[in-house]
Chains A and B, each alone.
Chain A
Amino acid sequence: MKCYSCGGEVSLTDKTCPYCGRSLTETANYRKDKEAYEKRSEKAKGRLAKAVSSNVPIVISAVVMVLLIIGVSVAVYVKENAYHFRGDAMRKEAKNNYIEYSKTIRDYLDAGDYTGFYAFKEYHNIAEFEEPYEDLKLLWDMTRKYALLVSDVEEAVLHGPEARWYRPEDDVANVRRSIDGFYNEYAYKLSEINADSYGAYMHDMKKKADAILKVYLRLDGEKLEEFLNSSMNKKEAYLEEVILHD
């Protein structure tokens, strides 16, 4: 605004004109209102600061709560999926150690220890369905059936002198199923086995299965053929006789 006396430019907050020195009464109300607003503003700021400071512990507690909820969620997720994380890590390790693991697998196979191979592959989570172990796929299919056969026969026939044996008929049925499982798989995949680079091992595996049936279940030669071609009931009746001595 301009000074009424000299026409010089003056501010609303000036008490006197800086050019002529006249007292600026026309801006007195403005200055008074401004002071009042400033005082109210300071009071409001003080109230706000007090309110904020009184809420700080609650805000901190809320932030901590959110962080804890996130932490619990992550921990539960990791816990629930630990098996998969562990499996993935071992599968990656198996890929990185391909040369070393392949040699160990050959050692198991050359020894005819197919259940050892099964245990090794399971423990190291070697993935036969992806590179670089894809060539093991058929061998693995047969090995699973063979390992099941060994386990089921083992579980059915090895009992101590004072054994408590519940539901032996289940064990007999398991042996019958695993024998059928292995021999049917072998017969069904014979042409693939013959063409596979590990075919010789799978034929040897079949010989081992024959030996298990001969040694532990008294099935040999024609008797084995007759057993394999008989009905489910006849097979189980025979196995009950041998395993349970019925």
Chain B
Amino acid sequence: MIKKVILAISIVINIVLAVILAINIRGAADKLKFVYVDQDTLDPSSLRMYLDMENYGTAASISRPIRGGAKIEEVDKDYYLLGEYADVLFLKELFEETGNAATIDACDKRLKEIVEELPEYSAIFEKIRWSVDQALGE
């Protein structure tokens, strides 16, 4: 009788351990995926929040890793592209001031690509352009 109780308890413990193991294996596999540079700095929920708050400068700096080659999950791509748009537009003014002609062309090309890729966000692009104009004092 005691042996049966011990066996039953050990089976229950094993089932619990198996569930914990499965959860941890999945968590470890997710963390090992080479998708983001660093989940802490490329956090889609933060980015969405800053876009909602119309804080385009913060969205721009959060999105910057994609200019270094970071890959983005398809589901979050639009948000990062909006951030990248703000970043590139901000930097383009800087290159115009310092006269990097080839880089200005590259910025224009990238800005155009992003706008063409996200036609449904024209209102937000307009707001981003407005924010840059305001920052320039225009």
Interface residues of A, Cβ cutoff 8 Å to B: 54-55, 57-58, 61-62, 64-65, 68-69, 71-72, 75-76, 78-79, 82-83, 85-86, 89-90, 111-113, 115-124, 147, 150-151, 153-165, 204, 207-208, 211-212, 214-216, 218
Contact = CB atoms under 8 A, between A and B. Distances in A.
A123 B37 contact: yes
A54 B4 CA distance: 10
**Top 8 closest A-B pairs, CB basis?**
A119-B68, A160-B54, A158-B57, A82-B31, A75-B24, A68-B17, A120-B68, A157-B135
B3 interface: yes
A194 B131 CA distance: 37
Contacts of A123: 37, 65, 68-70
A161 B127 contact: yes
DSSP majority for the A interface? helix
Nearest to A207: B98
B94 interface: yes
Contacts of A58: 3, 6-7, 10
Contacts of B118: none
A208 B96 CA distance: 10
A69 B17 contact: yes
A122 B67 CA distance: 11
A163 B68 contact: no
Q: Range of interface residues on chain B?
A: 35 or more
A85 to B, nearest CB: 7
B3 A163 contact: no
B136 A216 contact: yes
B90 A218 contact: no
Nearest to A77: B28
B46 interface: no
Given A58-B6, A71-B21, A163 B137 contact: no
Contact of A208 (B3, B6, B86, B94): B94
Contact of A165 (B53, B64, B87, B98): B53
Nearest to B11: A61
A165 B100 contact: no
Given A68-B17, A82-B31, A112-B103, A158 B24 contact: no
B34 A115 contact: no
Contacts of A65: 10, 13-14, 17
Given A75-B27, A122-B38, A160-B54, 6 more contacts: A82-B31, A111-B100, A157-B57, A159-B56, A160-B130, A212-B94
